[in-house]
Structure 1
Amino acid sequence: MMHALHDLLLLCLLTCVGQNAQGSEIINGRPVPESLMRYMASVQIDGKHVCGGFLVSEDFVLTAAHCDKNSPMEVVLGTHNLKKVNNDRMRFSVKTCKHKYYDKVESGNDIMLLQLSRKVQLDKKVKPIQLAKKAIKATDNMKCLVAGWGFTATNGKAVDVLNRVDVPLIDLNVCKKQWKFQKVVLPKGVLCAGGYGTKNGFCQGDSGGPLVCNGTAVGIVSFNMNGNCDYPNRPNVYTDISQHLAWIRNILKKKRC
């Protein structure tokens, strides 16, 4: 009986992780100046923001695989204020290129490329970000940040202006141990930053956004603890971009999934 109850609770936790990880936002953040983070993208469905993303080439935006809702998606580029969107110039329909081994967030491979319907015009308002070329460790002492649109508190309200917050990298062994207390075994190919040992982190509204360290995108927002953004609690989990470089480069080179 107790074993069955344990399995039921674990199933509920993992289901909640998957359901509540959809998009995450910024806790204790501040507005991003218009001149910075010009690679940020708003991933939208029916004209509404559902996830973050970031430009990696003239043709592609990188985001999280769980942002795919099996509905036509669009991307908005070139603005930090979602109330100020020129649809003819800033809005792009997209084709989804989801990682073939993605199943659910707790299983890993939470990564997806979005192929833009047309090349974006790179200028002072739109600029791609460089991707990490190798894995990083918490001991690398890098200054990192996460940014996005959406809730600024658990079950809060979305914001129209892009926000960012500094987050510390967390040693992966420490992160695994903390999540083990939740009866969750982290998948391979993830990074942890924020949400633990700090009040800073992400929340509902911006999954798919980048974890940026020293101006380089190293991770993709994946999930937190049951959508609970009242930090500190458990470490925030990101997809490790360095583990998917070959997959990314292959698609960017072929310019198709």
Structure 2
Amino acid sequence: MWVWSGSPPTRTPTSRSAAYGTVFVKYQQEWSTICGAGFSTDDAKVICRSLGYGSGWVVPFSLSYFGVGTGPVHVHKMECRGYEDWIRECPSFVWSQSLCVHHLDVGVFCYDGGLELRLAGGSNPDTGVVEAKMGNVWGSFCDADFDDFDAQVVCRQLGYVDGISTSGLAARPTPGPMWHIRLDCLGQEHTLQECRIRFLNGTCSRSSAASVRCFNTAGFVDDALKALLPADCGVLEEASDQFIIRLAKIRGGSHPTRFNSPWLASLRSQKGHLECGAFIISEDYLITAAHCFNRGGVLNFKVRVGDHNENFREEFEEEFDIEKIWIHENLNAYTFLDNDIALIKIKREYGRGITFGPRVKPVCLPSSSDSYEDLGDCIIMGWGRVEEEGQTQPRPNEVEIGIIPDDVCESRFLGGAHNYSSSSVCFGGIRTKGEACNGDSGGPLTCSTSGRHTAYGVFSRGLVCGKVPAPSVGVRMTKFLRWILEKIRN
């Protein structure tokens, strides 16, 4: 067995301690590749062990991330448990000619050397450039896409409680080499060796090193944001005795009552046509998907709240022009619709913003430390189509959804490491064949916790609605809390 990379990064850990590339296995004197159907971290661990590496840092790559192989594909799937010494011990490993094509070839990154961290060049011991010792060499990480999720893990590994990225604020020269590794942590990991990584093909100067500020207390972003947003968020009115309406679909879903989606808003053209969904977080601010503004800016849109049926003008319904739109600065930076989030500030009328009541309320935002692994009672809602060629709906629809593990979504549905990042959350309909569809973009993915509804995601994209049984992708809200805070506070 061996691994090969067609375009290795400029600087990685030394070859004795690391291996990376497309995986080849030898069967009957012929080298062949492994099909990437459901390729997991446990599979990658066994491959690295078979290559003579430990399990210090193992990252799976699917869908020919390092380039396509040649020859036959003799292994279709492995389904390893992670503790096997050799790939032949994995439950589903079978030598056979596979129908897989080479764009499904799997790759790995194996590193069994130590990983020490330190901060350098800062005026305070808790601030500085992140330096990592790999292969007995101290080097720094490029600040390309280095974010708060990555900073939290760096600081945690250094013994702090929390941290933020300070990359991009000023040039920070570093004397050592630059590791051309792009960290892609989710913020919950305890060490960097639990994080996914990507490789940088371009150059990164020594003045562009990733840097952090670490803290011994947690929650400062959460506390600052909560101080600016309504405390009475995410609580529904009791509607059981007032309206019981269970009809139609989001796609495979049902109509919510007038009282169980009070934060849902719509982004419309000046002529009233539905463009996207949105959701209320305060009397002045709403959140939606950034790609909703591909066709225009502030003057092209208006916001409607309190709308349960667009065929009728209702008592709680209000419309506002838009004062300002913040589109995330790194939209599409790493992959298609990466960082697909926008913040809207409405233009107040007669000195007041959105009027809150039983049918118009703000939704809560999550805490930066919230995990997506155990979320339940989650729904997605919007006015989108119920069929790909159909029309948007006059009333919003909702469907219960489940959160899909990142590695499953990345390897099976979304084009592998090329098309998935820590800004994304993957979800799909449960109990029904429901899914989000065209027109639902910008709508909230909410989950009920402790009697309150919290927006954990923003619907961003999916495959062809009603045609392909695959999950949808939303924006992972916990990654953008500091971004929202900075826009509102300023």
Q: Per-residue displacement from partner, 1:12-44 (whole Å, max 9, x unpaired)?
A: xxxxxxxxxxxxx92111111011110100100
Partners of 1:181 and 1:252 in 2: how far apart? 35
Displacement after TM superposition at 1:85 (Å): 3.3
Q: Per-residue displacement from partner, 1:212-248 (whole Å, max 9, x unpaired)?
A: 01111000000111x333352x221000010000011
**Aligned position for 1:80:** 308
**Aligned position for 2:476:** 240
Displacement after TM superposition at 1:155 (Å): 1.5
1:153–1:229 CA contact under 8 A, matched in 2: yes
**Aligned position for 1:18:** none
Higher relative contact order (CA 8 A, sep 6+): 1
- Is 1:155 the counterpart of 2:389? The answer is yes
Partners of 2:316 and 2:377 in 1: how far apart? 36
Q: In the alignment, which of 282, 289, 294 is matched to residue 57 of structure 1?
A: 282
**Any residues of structure 2 matched to 1:1-257 within 5 Å, and which?**
26-45=250-269, 46-68=271-293, 69-71=295-297, 72-85=300-313, 90-94=318-322, 95-103=324-332, 106-118=336-348, 119-134=353-368, 137=371, 139-180=373-414, 185-194=419-428, 199-214=433-448, 215-225=453-463, 227-230=464-467, 232=469, 234-254=470-490
Displacement after TM superposition at 1:89 (Å): 5.9
**Aligned position for 2:3:** none
1:199–1:139 Cα change, 3 Å:
same
Q: Per-residue displacement from partner, 1:30-67 (whole Å, max 9, x unpaired)?
A: 11101111010010013111100000111011000000
Instruction: Read off the aligned partner of 2:296 and give its amino acid letter.
Output: N
1:107–1:187 Cα change, 3 Å:
farther
Instruction: Read off the aligned partner of 2:446 and give its amino acid letter.
Output: V
Instruction: Read off the aligned partner of 1:132 and give its amino acid letter.
Output: P
CA RMSD of aligned residues (A): 2.7
Displacement after TM superposition at 1:191 (Å): 0.4
**Aligned position for 2:43:** none
1:231–1:205 Cα change, 3 Å:
same
Corresponding residue pairs, total: 231
Displacement after TM superposition at 1:132 (Å): 1.2
Instruction: Read off the aligned partner of 2:434 and give its amino acid letter.
Output: N
1:190–1:237 CA contact under 8 A, matched in 2: yes
Partners of 1:149 and 1:39 in 2: how far apart? 14
1:184–1:155 Cα change, 3 Å:
farther
Instruction: Read off the aligned partner of 1:101 and give its amino acid letter.
Output: N
Find the residue that maps to 2:313 and give its secondary structure.
Answer: coil
Instruction: Read off the aligned partner of 2:347 and give its amino acid letter.
Output: S
Instruction: Read off the aligned partner of 1:30 and give its amino acid letter.
Output: S
Partners of 1:47 and 1:100 in 2: how far apart? 28
Structure 2 residues not aligned, in runs of 5+: 1-67, 69-102, 104-248
2:456–2:478 CA contact under 8 A, matched in 1: yes
1:75–1:107 Cα change, 3 Å:
closer
With 25-34 and 111-120 compared, the bigger mean Cα shift is at 25-34
Displacement after TM superposition at 1:197 (Å): 9.7
Q: Per-residue displacement from partner, 1:105-158 (whole Å, max 9, x unpaired)?
A: 714110001110111111222110001113655530412100000201221121
2:307–2:314 CA contact under 8 A, matched in 1: no
1:42–1:49 CA contact under 8 A, matched in 2: yes
1:51–1:107 Cα change, 3 Å:
closer
- Sequence identity (%): 29
1:35–1:125 CA contact under 8 A, matched in 2: yes
Partners of 2:254 and 2:468 in 1: how far apart? 17
Find the residue that maps to 1:177 and give its secondary structure.
Answer: helix
Partners of 2:391 and 2:416 in 1: how far apart? 27
1:109–1:183 Cα change, 3 Å:
closer
1:34–1:87 Cα change, 3 Å:
closer
1:65–1:88 Cα change, 3 Å:
same
Structure 1 residues not aligned, in runs of 5+: 1-5, 11-24
Partners of 1:29 and 1:238 in 2: how far apart? 18
2:446–2:456 CA contact under 8 A, matched in 1: yes
Instruction: Read off the aligned partner of 1:93 and give its amino acid letter.
Output: D
With 74-83 and 132-141 compared, the bigger mean Cα shift is at 132-141
1:179–1:185 CA contact under 8 A, matched in 2: no
Q: TM-score, normalised by structure 1?
A: 0.81
Instruction: Read off the aligned partner of 2:406 and give its amino acid letter.
Output: L
